[in-house]
Amino acid sequence: ITANANSSVTISCIVDAAKDLAGNNNVAPTALVVKHDNISPTVSITSTFSPGPVVVSPFEIEITFSEKVVDFDYSDLIISNGIASNLTTSDSIYFTVDINPSAVGLVTVDINASAANDLAGNQSVAATQFSITYEGTSTDVTISYTGPDPTNTTPLPIIIAFTESVNGFNTTDFV
């Protein structure tokens, strides 16, 4: 029997299709149902911290397969500028893992093709590379007043100092 699609295949035979040596006809057998699966599981890597940058360590990533898989473990994670810990799953589809960045900069996570197998033995496809920038610490800001207090002058002379270069800060950010 050749399965033509990724679906369940039901196999049975008709009543009276065969006779035994005494001439008795066969009865209807219980149908055999086999799930045919020839599709490789896909996998994606995401994080609630995307698109970044991220300042916490470790940060969690989510790994989601399109169906249940086996044989997926730490050795299937290819991490640049980090180390994985706490790989967990409750359903063999959705996994979480903590990434501990090694240094400030770009952190990437890859999962190659054949990293896991579905229950039918089909090997997984490769995931699209996950990348995020790790900054290490939050940007601190200090606001200083340089005039006399109290004062009757305006505008007030203030200095706003950030601990690193910033983008997007403007007068609408004051409260």
Tens digit of each residue's pLDDT (9 = 90 or more) over 126-167: 999 999 999 987 678 889 988 888 888 888 888 888 887 888
The answer on pLDDT for 17 being more than 80 is: yes
Query: Does residue 65 or residue 10 have the better pLDDT?
Result: 65
pLDDT score at 168: 83
Exposure pattern of 15-40 as b/e (b: 16+ CB <10 Å)?
eeeeeeeeeeeeeeeeeeeeeebeeb
pLDDT in tens, 47-99: 999 998 998 999 999 999 999 999 999 999 999 999 999 999 999 999 999 99
Question: Whose CA is closest to 52, among 125, 114, 118, 106?
Answer: 106
